[in-house]
Amino acid sequence: MQTKQTVVFIPGLLCDAELWQHQIDGLADIFESYVADISLDDSMTHIAQRILNNAPKRFHLVALSMGGYIAFEILRLAPERVTKLTLMDTSARIDTPKAAAHRKTIIEFTQVGKFMGVTDKLLPQLIHPSRVHEPIGETIKTMALRVGKAAFLKQQNAILNRIDSRPFLAKIQTPTLMVVGEQDGLTPLSHAQEIKDGIAHARLHVFPTCGHLPPLEYPTETTQLLRNWLTA
């Protein structure tokens, strides 16, 4: 019997395996799935190395947002192990000085205060406003609380200290699909286009009326997109 190929899924900040559950279930007939735990380390290199230590020798890589930053690090460390790359709603850039200062403030307040997770006020930044009052909102908030304060601080420090991946894009030889929500306000379409243009022969798929989290906002369509891409 032929062994199934593995898809390694990397979630984003304050997300866990539930982000990818529809895709895991929908692809189970043709792929094994491994969801990376990105809650244990405070640097992109350490997170990437932990994933490589636990992943099969060869795998497809699907990563969203912070997961994309980690994916770039995996490709720096072991590009030969990644068969196909799917990047969703991410950026190759580092924080602007203003964004970095804001992130440092968040870290400082979280260290001394109560961890709030994802609040109702933050939801419109993550998903299309039309979906804020749908069950997806509760899914996002529950994931964030499950990930928790300690992991959130580690993740924020890893993001804060990541390196600029734009100069690295031209070195990526892995077949790449870039996916983005058209109304993503965190890592906008222009950032997705920049990655697509920087990686030779990369493709770009845009979900209309969609924010930062296509796997939850368009679960069926995201699963079908991955099926088509990974089996092509």
Tokens standing for residue 54:
């636990």
- State the average pLDDT over residues 45-50: 98
Calculate the average pLDDT of the chain. 97
Task: Give the C-alpha separation, 32 to 89, whole Å.
Answer: 23
SS3 assignment, position 132: coil
- State the average pLDDT over residues 198-214: 98
Instruction: Let me know if domain 5-95+155-231 sits in CATH 3.40.50.1820.
Output: yes
- pLDDT of the residue at 2: 59
Task: Give the C-alpha separation, 89 to 106, whole Å.
Answer: 22
- pLDDT of the residue at 93: 98
Give residue 114's pLDDT band: very low, low, confident or very high (50, 70, 90). confident
Q: What is the dihedral of CA 134, 136, 141, 147, to 10 degrees?
A: 170
Query: What tens digit of pLDDT does each residue of 83-106 get?
Result: 999 999 999 999 999 999 999 999
In the predicted structure, residue 74 carries a pLDDT above the cut 80: yes
